[in-house]
Structure 1
Amino acid sequence: MWAFTGTSIHRNYWDTDAHLFDDRSAGRDLGFGPWQDISMKVNGPVLTDLSHNFSQAWDLEKPWYNRWFGYESLQAERNTLPVPGVATRAAHSVAQVCRTQPQDKETSILEHYLKAIGNATDYVYMENQYFRYPDFAKRLGDIASTRKARGVPGDLHLFVVTNTPDSKTASATTYEMLQALGQEQLMPQVQRDLSESLSEYQEQIERLNNSANAHSSPFANLNRLKSIERLQDKIQALRDQGVSTQVEERMRDQQPDDIPGLAEHIDENDDKPFQLSDIPGLKVVIATLATSDPAPGSPPPTRLSSEAEAILNAPRLKARYKHIYVHSKLLLVDDVYTLLSSANINIRSMHSDSELGIAQPNPELAKSLREKLWGMHAGEVKSSSVGNYLLWNKMMKINWRAKNKGYPLASHLQRFWDVVTPYSPDFTVD
């Protein structure tokens, strides 16, 4: 029997490992694909638990008046079937069903994430549609710092493959998650908004200071000082959100339409429009996926001679690019632990939506998934987390430069870089 977790069974969401720019054989409607997703085939006694979960959910959706017609619940019917043994000689792996079930106050998917992250000694890999639960980032940072303080050798590594919000609304929690990992400068539109707010507060303080009058009443002076204090608190909050004096200087006079052009500011001298912070004991790499035409790994498009281009007034041929939409919901830890679920890394999936997952402490499964996926995304897999961390950063730098030159990508891996999403703590897509 098959159990699909988080996967949409529709031709528009079908794709191959190659993630071609325009895969005509897929038969997708216009606007769909490429698409990255993961399914799992499940056999054995764990199917009893999956069946129980399905039956329970089915019965909850049945109208109450079905009782008038003698409807017997699906759960009651399935309970009459023989139950397989908890373990068999042919068992390949131990598995546990975990859920987010708000009506039962169950958040076992969240508990699995927290425990798995807390037990990490080498790497954590998150491949997920969203990356919007700051508590995970803070927990990783705290654990890494504690390890470093206790003299534990080596660093923890966090590898992330996700989508950028690229939303005209807002994504406050994505920014908070990146900031907890020292990666907040990868959302420059948000930092521009925050820097603009900081400048406004500073200007208000200056006006209040200039309005000081020796002839003002004590009550008016007290109100002025309290207003300045409130503004100073707001400025400090923005400093705490990553708006350093360097960021403030870089974003000064930047307009929203200027931000996308920052991606062009990287050259052979490694100048780049962001500066990432180091978390003690934690190495972080946050990626998205893309494909190109010609396909990744292809040579650059053949150019005409400069004379022919001038005579024909022909533009230089450039590669084309598409985002690969990440729909997966996978967590891997240390080549030991695997959790595949329908849960996104956001507040809704961890607390309020009904979600289902299967967790397995299976080294063979975890290692094979990591090697398969990292090979697909980066083009190769190194033998250590340190080696893969260096490889991912190298590939993302190569692909950043390739896009600026109009060349095909070297692999599907590219750095998370959101130049669209603004900041709003009150109205957010999360």
Structure 2
Amino acid sequence: MLLRKPEGSDSTVQIIRTQPTEKDCSIQEIYFKAADNASLAFKYVYVENQYFQYEEWCQRLLKKRQQVMRLWNDAAQKKGSSLSDMPLLHIFIVIPMPELEEMIPRTYDALATLGQHEGLNGQEKLIKSENDQVLAQNFAPSYRRKKPLPLAIAHAKEISKPNVDTLRNVFGVKICTAMLNACGMIGGRWRYREIYIHSKLLLVDDVFCTLGSANLNQRSMVGDSELNMATIDPVLTKGLRKRVWSMLSGGAWDGAECAKTDLKSTFHDWTELMINNQEYQKRSKAMKGFLMPLQDGRSSVKRYG
């Protein structure tokens, strides 16, 4: 029953859940469908989440995108199009540092699938150290006990970790990953602290959005009780995108109409702002907006999430 008459600004939404006792995994279904549809998109995907640990979702996004790009390349060759004509999908990821050290490995795996793992430099160092130890064992006397790789390290080692060129040329994507910081003047000095993100928002191409309680991890997709809304609503999605991006940039930009030139400049400005804010912190200056490169020096061989 409607409590009032429908208005032109209303949105039609689907309520989706994760409820294991009722075997309801409709949030997972929507996220997978969003990945499939995003692979067909030629504008942007914006992911903002408390946990970014769902490697399977990242794999699906790139797999579907690669299929689309193969079809595009086949058609482009027949038309005589060049690589510069290829439409790029810009993927913006905004997440906090993993809440617990034990959440770092799964966050690393998800980011590594998208070639975004370098910010977790503590885990990078641990993986290299563990691999070096195992390699050194090959030259040790046979009577010494062989130490196997921890499962988390062995799994991370198998991830392909595409570089920037591969992401662009094979998958047709450009990706940046950010965390959020705030700053304030205390005792005559600029101080900085991380903004812990608790929101769970996914926007695709100014058309689709989902918002709710579900984290981007295995537990929220199949194990916990979660509730999201999803909608195909260009007006709502575009409005959310402009509000959120304007807020993150300190009002500097909002993506405008998300035309090809708009996204090219927005992606450039986004990554430049992240780097500049990192430099501002080193020089004890005021940040502009809240975007920072994701960085975490911690590491773990235990996997949660």
Interval containing the TM-score (normalised by the shorter chain): 0.7 to 0.9
Aligned to 1:93: 11
Change (3 A) 1:104 1:203: same
What is the DSSP-based 3-state SS (H/G/I as helix, E as strand, rest coil) of the residue aligned with 2:72? coil
* Candidates 119, 133, 139, aligned match of 2:37: 119
- Distance (Å, rounded) in 2 between the aligned partners of 1:139 and 1:162: 20
- Distance (Å, rounded) in 1 between the aligned partners of 2:226 and 2:197: 18
Normalising by structure 1, we get a TM-score of: 0.59
- 1:139 Cα deviation from its structure 2 partner: 1.6
Is 1:141 aligned to residue 62 of structure 2?
yes
* Candidates 221, 233, 245, aligned match of 1:362: 233
State the Cα deviation string for residues 156-215 of structure 1 (Å, max 9, x = none). Answer: 12111111115344422101001101011111111111111111111110114xx5xxxx
CA contact (8 A) 2:101 2:300 kept: no
- Within 5 Å, which residues of 2 pair with 1:353-392? 353-379=224-250, 380-383=253-256, 384-392=262-270
* Candidates 284, 287, 292, aligned match of 2:183: 292
State the Cα deviation string for residues 105-132 of structure 1 (Å, max 9, x = none). Answer: 1100111111112112021111111111
CA contact (8 A) 2:127 2:153 kept: no
CA contact (8 A) 1:134 1:180 kept: yes
- Distance (Å, rounded) in 2 between the aligned partners of 1:354 and 1:395: 37
- Within 5 Å, which residues of 2 pair with 1:54-69? none
- Distance (Å, rounded) in 1 between the aligned partners of 2:237 and 2:68: 24
- 1:236 Cα deviation from its structure 2 partner: 8.0
- 1:278 Cα deviation from its structure 2 partner: 4.4
Is 1:201 aligned to residue 134 of structure 2?
yes
Q: Which has the larger Rg?
A: 1
Q: Which runs of 5+ in 1 are unaligned?
A: 1-82, 212-219, 244-274, 296-300, 302-316
Aligned to 1:408: 286
State the Cα deviation string for residues 17-47 of structure 1 (Å, max 9, x = none). Answer: xxxxxxxxxxxxxxxxxxxxxxxxxxxxxxx
Size of the aligned set, in residue pairs, is: 276
Amino acid at match of 1:352: G
What is the DSSP-based 3-state SS (H/G/I as helix, E as strand, rest coil) of the residue aligned with 1:393? helix
Q: Which runs of 5+ in 2 are unaligned?
A: 74-85, 257-261
Aligned to 2:206: 335
Aligned to 2:51: 130
- 1:385 Cα deviation from its structure 2 partner: 2.4
- Distance (Å, rounded) in 2 between the aligned partners of 1:238 and 1:322: 29
- Within 5 Å, which residues of 2 pair with 1:201-240? 201-208=134-141, 239-240=157-158
- Distance (Å, rounded) in 1 between the aligned partners of 2:245 and 2:63: 26
